[in-house]
Amino acid sequence: MLRFTTADYRFIKARAIAAHGSQMTGLIEDDPEGFRMPCDLVQHFVETDEIFIPA
C-alpha cells in the first residue's frame, strides 16, 4: 500500500470532484431518488490523502 500526501492539491481535488455534475448537483431531474454525494463525503475525499493498493 502506498500513501500519497495530497495537502498541496486539495483545491485541485475539490475541482475534480465538482466536475462530476451528475453526482454533485441536481443535473439529473427525472429521478428524485437519484444519488447526490453528501457534503461530508466530499470533504473526506478532498481532505484525506490518496491510497494506492497495487494489484
> 3-52 pLDDT, tens per residue?
999 999 999 999 999 999 888 888 888 887 888 899 999 999 999 999 99
Q: What's the total number of domains in the chain?
A: 1
User: Which residues span the domain enclosing 46?
Assistant: 2-52
The per-residue pLDDT for 12 is 97
Residue 1 pLDDT grade (very low, low, confident, very high; cuts 50, 70, 90): very high
The per-residue pLDDT for 16 is 94
Name 7's Cβ contacts closer than 8 Å, sequence gap at least 6.
49
Name 16's Cβ contacts closer than 8 Å, sequence gap at least 6.
none
Alpha helices in the chain (DSSP H): 10-18, 21-24, 39-47
Name 50's Cβ contacts closer than 8 Å, sequence gap at least 6.
3, 4, 6
Report how far residue 36's alpha carbon sits from residue 28's, in angstroms, rounded to the nearest whole number: 10
The per-residue pLDDT for 29 is 83
